[in-house]
Amino acid sequence: MDERTAYKLFISDIVERKIHSEEGRLPYIDYNGLQVSTVRVMGTVVSRHDSERYSIITIDDSTETISVRAFGEDMELLSKIAPGDTVDVIGALREYEGENYLLPIVVYRVSDPNWEVVRKLELHIRAKKTGVRLSETPGVYVEEVVEEDLKPLVLSLIERLDEGDGADYNTLLKDSGLEDTRLDETLNELLSNSEIYEPKIGRFKKV
């Protein structure tokens, strides 16, 4: 797995594992035979703390809690997030004084908290297929699973990765953690809606 590929996990799967730090590579955890450096988690913001130098939110997905810590310019990623919000976070793994936390890469506020249920169901299905033991979590009951609207997340990621000449497709694929077919569908929909454009093949910019 590429170090920048975002892997969807329960928070308990992150905080219960040791983060390994090796020279020349990003910190990572061992998960199901993979060395995971970048994760994607969804949960409810239960607290927030701000100072001049950093902003910290704590999110809870009912399996555990984890802090998301932004420093300097990255504090803007958390500027519109408040306790009670449901958020979808792509973050890099870090550890300080024995506590695992996330450095935010993309933070998306989820308008419908029912997506937490959908995410839990998705992770339970994956665990059943792979045989990975999951931490104890409340039962998940859904009558119908609908397709998640990925446009806000991809738009946010494009804006984040665009350094002037557009966000690179391969980087979008790695950082979003999406399958290529789902990313392609979302990009095509954004192009059709004139929300993004392609200044050159394989690069995307927000309108």
Q: What is the pLDDT of residues 3-52, one digit of tens each?
A: 567 888 999 999 999 999 988 889 999 988 888 999 999 999 999 999 99
Given a cut of 50, the residues of the chain with pLDDT beneath it are 1, 133-147
pLDDT at 136: 38
Per-residue pLDDT, 128: 61
Residue-level pLDDT at 56: 97
**Res 125: pLDDT:** 66
The CB-based long-range contact list for 197-204 (8 Å cut-off, 24+ gap) reads: 198/166, 199/165, 199/166, 200/165, 200/166, 202/168, 202/169, 202/170, 203/165, 203/166, 203/167, 203/168, 203/169, 204/158, 204/162, 204/166, 204/167, 204/169, 204/172
pLDDT at position 1: 45
The pLDDT assigned to 181 comes to 83
Confidence at residue 39, expressed as pLDDT on a 0 to 100 scale? 92
- The per-residue pLDDT for 139 is 35
Which residues make beta-bridge pairs with 109? 87
**CATH assignment of 6-110, among 3.30.465.10, 3.40.50.1220, 2.40.50.140, 3.40.50.300:** 2.40.50.140
* pLDDT of res. 167: 93
Q: What is the pLDDT of residue 182?
A: 83
- Give pLDDT, residue 15: 95
Whole-angstrom distance, CA of residue 67 vs CA of residue 99: 9
Which residue ranges make up each domain of the chain?
A: 6-110, 151-206
